[in-house]
Structure 1
């Protein structure tokens, strides 16, 4: 007779996400995870397969919660320029304000790629969703005359995504929002 799982897997994934986000994949051991989650090693393996499975679940949770909230904020922005500026400056504020944790997706890319193909897919899917949402906002902004039509919205969204990724890495090196926000102003000039 199979044992019933005795813990909330969604809560465990959320707590594991925080641990991976704080320490990274490599510096987080299975023992750290079982202690932090309050579960046995057998339960972790039964629920997630292994540490990699739990890490992938944590990244997926990040995408559906925090990354999805950023995209909603972008789409609900009053105008494109304000929405883009807010997206970039808020991500800086969050990255610097969380003890330098940065962005979990960018951290995963820096730590796990190019070797980990499954993490690459998850991060690429997150990046693609962000780029596509941003491209939609920019396309509408061009149609309304809010921004200059000199760049293709998809390419411009890819550029802004690259700037955002760079800002997330730079926030670990220079955790000074004012210094990083000056880069945002340069990126905003591209919008025309």
Structure 2
């Protein structure tokens, strides 16, 4: 009688550790051997759990989305002054990118490294960007209804602008890993709410 072998590791924890390695090195520069050594699991176990290096990469992107990017979106619900909420969202994400050793944002890095050729990565990045835009649209719609921001721009358009601006800011933070250097340009973006 065959007995199925029980997986001896937590796949979520492995995805989190792999996320750190992919975030630091990028997809192409991370080999399967690098992953197995870093994660402390065998190649067979990696393939059994994730199917491939690409499967582990997708799991790492999802881990990033639910753990790190999700934190930024949850902060949108906590603020009362919409300008301060947007300002802190933008500067906060830059601080995280800079504090992470200048690694930037894993989604922005994935887009730059893997697109346009990798359809699965395109979906993951696109889903994350859409989730950010939807959350911002919701907050900005409420702020517009309350008269807290100008109605000269549609909240959805403002949200798309802010997400696009943030992505550019995250790329720039890799070039200039100093969060304080971006205060003035963030104020220009916050001015779009007036």
**Do they superpose with TM above 0.5?**
yes
Cα separation, 2, equivalents of 1:81 and 1:152 = 16
Consecutive unaligned residues in structure 2, runs of 5 or more: none
Cα separation, 1, equivalents of 2:126 and 2:91 = 22
C-alpha displacement of 1:97: 1.3
Q: Is 1:118 matched up with 2:120?
A: yes
Identify the range of structure 1 (68-77 vs 130-139) with the bigger mean alpha-carbon deviation: 68-77
**Per-residue deviation, residues 82-131 of structure 1 (Å, max 9, x unmatched):** 11000001011111111101111111111111100000001100000000
The answer on whether the counterparts of 1:92 and 1:168 sit within 8 Å (CA) in structure 2 is: yes
**Which residue matches 1:156?**
158
The answer on whether the counterparts of 1:75 and 1:133 sit within 8 Å (CA) in structure 2 is: no
**Which residue matches 2:43?**
41
The answer on whether the counterparts of 1:105 and 1:123 sit within 8 Å (CA) in structure 2 is: yes
Identify the range of structure 1 (123-132 vs 175-184) with the bigger mean alpha-carbon deviation: 175-184
Q: Equivalent of 1:94, from 93, 96, 100? A: 96
Query: What is the number of equivalent residue pairs in this alignment?
Result: 192
Cα separation, 2, equivalents of 1:172 and 1:68 = 21
Cα separation, 1, equivalents of 2:53 and 2:61 = 12
Cα separation, 2, equivalents of 1:161 and 1:8 = 33
C-alpha displacement of 1:180: 1.7
Cα separation, 2, equivalents of 1:178 and 1:9 = 37
Q: Equivalent of 1:179, from 161, 178, 181? A: 181
The answer on whether the counterparts of 1:21 and 1:101 sit within 8 Å (CA) in structure 2 is: yes
C-alpha RMSD of matched pairs (Å): 0.9
Runs ≥4 residues deviating over 2 A: none
Q: Structure 2 length as normaliser, TM-score?
A: 0.96
Q: Is 1:30 matched up with 2:28?
A: no
**Which residue matches 2:79?**
77
Cα separation, 1, equivalents of 2:184 and 2:26 = 28
The answer on whether the counterparts of 1:63 and 1:126 sit within 8 Å (CA) in structure 2 is: yes
C-alpha displacement of 1:178: 2.3
